[in-house]
Structure 1
Amino acid sequence: METRVAVISIIVEEPETVEKLNGILHEYGEYIIGRMGLPYRARNISIISIALDAPKDTISSMAGKIGNLHGVSVKTALSGVTGHE
């Protein structure tokens, strides 16, 4: 199956949502290349970037689940680089 390289950017404004977010990230762990999280204490938010290599449907599903969490904003950027599982 064809895969794409992508970055999902996440802003968490509700700290109580972090546990649910981590559960989603664990669910898709096999596709995650790396992750960077920055707590921005001055604004009481967390900024998270997730790099992944996954089928496009999987990327969309993951972003959709994250975006449905209360107090979470998400954006996805897809690369033109493709590969195969």
Structure 2
Amino acid sequence: MWQRLGVPKGDVSLVSRAYLANRDGLKCHLCKRGLGLTTKHPEPGYASIDHVLPLSEGGTNDLANLRLAHLVCNLRKRAKAMGEQLALIG
């Protein structure tokens, strides 16, 4: 069994992209353009789950820290914190 890097051992909670789309709307939180849930990985427009405050910067897998982003936008961001993380911790 594999484990995603940065996820504490035993953390098996999963969140669906559909849940986040319903909660936040079908918009990429990084570029603000529309997302489609039918796009398949690894297409650039795939709706990936992004950590607003990256795990490497102390972020968590808490729902408050998760947003949808195009795969290409998420890859461009990498593990950098953006301005929105201030709202999460402040």
- In which range does the TM-score fall when normalised by the shorter chain? under 0.3
Larger RCO, structures 1/2 (Cα 8 Å, 6+ apart): 1
- TM-score by length of structure 1 reads 0.25
**Larger fraction in strand:** 1
